[in-house]
Amino acid sequence: QVQLQESGPGLVKPSETLSLTCNVSGDSMGHYYWSWIRQPPGKGLEWIGYIYTTGDTNYNPSLKSRVTISIDTSKNQFSLNLNSVTAADTAVYYCARGVRVVVVPGAINWFDPWGQGTLVTVSS
Amino acid sequence: DIQMTQSPSSLSASIGDRVTITCQAGQDISKYLNWYHQRPGKAPKLLIFDVSNLETGVPSRFSGGGGGTDFTFTISSLQPEDIGTYYCQQYGDLPITFGQGTRLAIK
């Protein structure tokens, strides 16, 4: 059974880069869309972007200029970099496996499973 | 972006009650609609995919329906473990978007 686990600093200074890694265990990374989703405290869910195992990426236009997602299939992990952070980027960051059963404009059909999430606070 | 609007934003109900949540998409998304349940302090969990298909292991008291722009999520008999927040999610187009959530509490 596949499991995902996020890791990285819990505190980042404004204007710096937020960096997180998601470790995937229990299965290979093949044929899935490895995704990042965030949730500001007390608020809803925002899809950040995904990377396919070929290295193809797609990002939410609202964050595209600041986001990079990378993958290392040999280590069974993928990573998120979000630069020039502000307090508005304070959130719980989740990694998730994106599943595609049918080809649709949205690429990913659903997210399953998710990591437990990690809170990242942007503050000086 | 396709806006997803859930209603109500919160509700409380008694054990055994039938509970229904609605999700309206800003444009036609066909059947490309999923539902997730998030318990307090936990990650969201997929319950229903493609409008009405239950994920493996999800109890049959959960169901979904609709199509196009209007969708429903129903719990036929509310149980204590059903508390938390429910989110709809569309994949009819990028970027993938979620509803704002419906917080469910026990009365």
CB contact under 8 A, A47 and B98: yes
Is residue A104 scored above 90 in pLDDT? Answer: no
Give the per-residue pLDDT at A30: 86
Query: Is B57 exposed, middle or buried (CB count within 10 Å of its CB: 0-12, 13-18, 19+)?
Result: exposed
Q: Which of B56, B57, B42 is nearest to B87 (CA)?
A: B42
CA pair distance A89, A121, nearest whole angstrom: 8
The CA distance from A114 to the nearest CA of chain B, in Å, is 6
- Count, residues in chain A: 124
Give the per-residue pLDDT at B36: 98
Query: How many Cβ atoms are within 10 Å of B56's Cβ, its own excluded?
Result: 6
User: How confident is residue A106, by pLDDT bands cut at 50, 70 and 90?
Assistant: low
Q: What is the DSSP letter of A106?
A: T
Q: Are strands A77-82 and A18-25 parallel, antiparallel or unpaired?
A: antiparallel
Is residue A60 scored above 70 in pLDDT? Answer: yes
| Residue B59 in tokens | 């109890």
Collect all residues of chain A within an 8 Å Cβ-Cβ radius of residue B96: 47, 106, 108
Per-residue pLDDT, averaged over A46-58, amounts to 95
A114 has a chain B CB within 8 A of its CB: yes
| Residue A17 in tokens | 């880069």
- The list of chain B residues with pLDDT below 70 reads none
Mutate one of A34, A45, A114 to test the B interface: name it (highest B CB count within 10 A): A45
CA pair distance B54, B102, nearest whole angstrom: 19
Give the per-residue pLDDT at B86: 98
Mean residue pLDDT of chain A comes to: 95
CB contact under 8 A, B91 and A106: yes
CA pair distance A113, B46, nearest whole angstrom: 8
Mean residue pLDDT of chain B comes to: 97
User: How confident is residue A7, by pLDDT bands cut at 50, 70 and 90?
Assistant: very high
User: How confident is residue A102, by pLDDT bands cut at 50, 70 and 90?
Assistant: confident
Contact (Cβ atoms closer than 8 angstroms) between residue B91 and residue A104: yes
Query: How many Cβ atoms are within 10 Å of B72's Cβ, its own excluded?
Result: 16
Collect all residues of chain B within an 8 Å Cβ-Cβ radius of residue A110: 34, 46, 49, 89, 91
